[in-house]
Amino acid sequence: MKNFKSHYPKLKPNLLIAISLVLIVACNEKNITAKKSETLSLKEAFKNEFVIGAAVNDQLIFEEDSLGAKLAKEEFNTITPENSMKWMYMEPQQGVFEFETADRYIDFSTKNNIAFIGHNLVWHSQLAEWVKKITSKEELNASLKNHVQTIAARYTGKIHGWDVVNEALNEDGTLRNSLFLEKLGPDYLVNSFKWAEEADPKAELYYNDYNMTRKEKRAGAIELVKMLQKNGARVDGIGMQAHWGLTDPTLEEIETSILAYADLGIQVMITEFDITVLPNPWDLEGAEVSQNFEGSEEMNPYTKKLPDSVSTLLAKRYKDIFSIFKKHSDKISRVTFWGINDGVSWLNNWPIENRTNYPLLFDREYNKKPAYYGVLEVATDSTL
Ligand code: 9MR
């Protein structure tokens, strides 16, 4: 099975020793790690472990966000479209496909030699309205097939992998009662993977979901992949989205989950990594997310600046989690952040709109944050 790693061969051990010696002699300083941090990009730093990605948006692809585009080229070797390849944008009317924007994403990745992850072919959310109105099973099945195959076929040879199915599970690990499941039964999952493979045999095919560290959901995801495999669908990898917090999930849950997914014999990918630093209304006893928290200081405490104490906690959390990724880099092929800088993160608007969040490695001015250096240290510190 081909994967990212075949494109990024490991350095030979004796070469690594030679490089380390040269660096030790050349730097001869205590803070060698900090020095190296100035010169290495994320993708270079982790080139022997996994590829490093980011979700990107239209402003970046059209280079209106030129600083974002610059960082995408310098720091990352894979990108995922944050929104523009979802069903509502790709096929807004039945049988009418809008390829213009998606083509620009593909051009950007091809031109800059950045591997492209298609996101996504089948999802109950951000669907076009017309799909929801279909009443017949036959028509829905034909529409799903046409959607998957038309898009997958268009980009064959230009896409590294597809999130074929996104978020098909409930929190308890059972299958989500989406309109696809309701009308087509679990066959829609098997068929979607088979249709994608038929249309683009070269692309890798993934199942992608959130809360993949929770016990019940993890069991459900494993069962789902096994069911797909048993029914003859090819699944190359499993995507743990990784929208995480400063303390949840625990490091143990993260590690256990990586190992459990790797046991399926497929690639494990961290596909939408970010760490919120803001309070979550669901954690508050008696708090209803439907309550209006907008403008509440309690829920939006860092409107001017992230306090140094929290910034340090965030850096440590990133470092701890990346240490686990590095430890299991033989099982992990990709780590993708869900956005490039704090200013563009979806977490400024979820679960409460208009807050100021700081979940990524670059700040609103595109500067590297302590979290960036925390991550980089994992790559450069041989004791981690
Ligand atoms: O980041 C995306 C945000 O801009 C959209 O408003 C949102 C709509 O559902 O989708 C976000 O991306 C999601 C991704 O496609 C699938 N996993 C969860 C992500 C965060 O909601």
Instruction: Write the pLDDT tens digit of every residue in 213-258.
Output: 999 999 999 999 999 999 999 999 999 999 999 999 999 999 999 9
363 within ligand 1 shell (Cβ under 6 A): no
Query: What pLDDT does 287 receive?
Result: 61
126 within ligand 1 shell (Cβ under 6 A): yes
Distance 126 CA to ligand 1 centre (A): 9
**How far is Cα 42 from Cα 114, in angstroms, rounded to an integer?**
14
Kindly report the protein residue whose alpha carbon is nearest to atom 14 of ligand 1. 82
349 within ligand 1 shell (Cβ under 6 A): no
Distance 346 CA to ligand 1 centre (A): 7
The yes-or-no verdict on residue 12 having pLDDT over 50 is no
The yes-or-no verdict on residue 11 having pLDDT over 80 is no
* Catalytic member of 197, 204, 255, 272: 272
**How far is Cα 200 from Cα 308, in angstroms, rounded to an integer?**
48
Distance 41 CA to ligand 1 centre (A): 26
Q: What's the pLDDT tens digit per position in 65-119?
A: 999 999 999 999 999 999 999 999 999 999 999 999 999 999 999 999 999 999 9
* Cβ pair 140, 183 in contact under 8 A: yes
Kindly report the protein residue whose alpha carbon is nearest to atom 19 of ligand 1. 272
* Catalytic member of 49, 75, 91, 167: 167
125 within ligand 1 shell (Cβ under 6 A): yes
Kindly report the protein residue whose alpha carbon is nearest to atom 12 of ligand 1. 82
**How far is Cα 138 from Cα 217, in angstroms, rounded to an integer?**
30
Confidence of residue 383 (pLDDT cuts 50, 70, 90): confident
Q: What's the pLDDT tens digit per position in 165-221?
A: 999 999 999 999 999 999 999 999 999 999 999 999 999 999 999 999 999 999 999
Selected residue with higher pLDDT from 118 and 34: 118
Closest CA to 361 of 377, 340, 344, 347: 340
Q: Can you tell me the mean pLDDT for 127-150?
A: 98
The yes-or-no verdict on residue 273 having pLDDT over 80 is yes
Query: What pLDDT does 288 receive?
Result: 65
**How far is Cα 35 from Cα 29, in angstroms, rounded to an integer?**
9
Distance 163 CA to ligand 1 centre (A): 13
Confidence of residue 9 (pLDDT cuts 50, 70, 90): very low
Confidence of residue 16 (pLDDT cuts 50, 70, 90): very low
The yes-or-no verdict on residue 22 having pLDDT over 60 is no
**Rg, the chain, Cα only:** 21
Q: What's the pLDDT tens digit per position in 37-68?
A: 457 999 999 999 999 999 999 999 999 999 99
**How far is Cα 143 from Cα 101, in angstroms, rounded to an integer?**
22
For a pocket test of ligand 1, which of 59, 60, 82, 353 has the largest count of ligand atoms closer than 8 A to its C-beta? 82
346 within ligand 1 shell (Cβ under 6 A): yes
Q: Is the peptide bond before 120 cis (omega within 30 degrees of 0)?
A: yes
Place of tokens 């096994």: 226
- 255 a catalytic residue: no
- The 3-state secondary structure of the chain, one letter per residue: CCCHHHHCCCCCHHHHHHHHHHHHHHHCCCCHHHHHHHHCCHHHHCCCCCEEEEEECHHHHCCCCHHHHHHHHHHCCEEEECCCCCHHHHCCECCECCCHHHHHHHHHHHHCCCEEEEEEEECCCCCCHHHHCCCCHHHHHHHHHHHHHHHHHHCCCCCCEEEEEECCECCCCCECCCHHHHHHCCHHHHHHHHHHHHHCCCCEEEEEECCCCCHHHHHHHHHHHHHHHHCCCCCCEEEECCEECCCCCCHHHHHHHHHHHHCCCCEEEEEEEEECCCCCHHHCCCCCCCCCCCCCCCCCCCCCCCCHHHHHHHHHHHHHHHHHHHHCCCCEEEEEECCCEHHHCHHHCCCCCCCCCCCCCECCCCCECHHHHHHHHHHHCCCC
Query: What pLDDT does 18 receive?
Result: 47
Enumerate domains of the chain plus CATH numbers: 51-379 (3.20.20.80)
The yes-or-no verdict on residue 307 having pLDDT over 80 is yes
- 272 a catalytic residue: yes
Average pLDDT, the chain: 91
49 within ligand 1 shell (Cβ under 6 A): no
Give the nearest ligand 1 atom to 86 CA. 15
Q: Can you tell me the mean pLDDT for 134-151?
A: 98
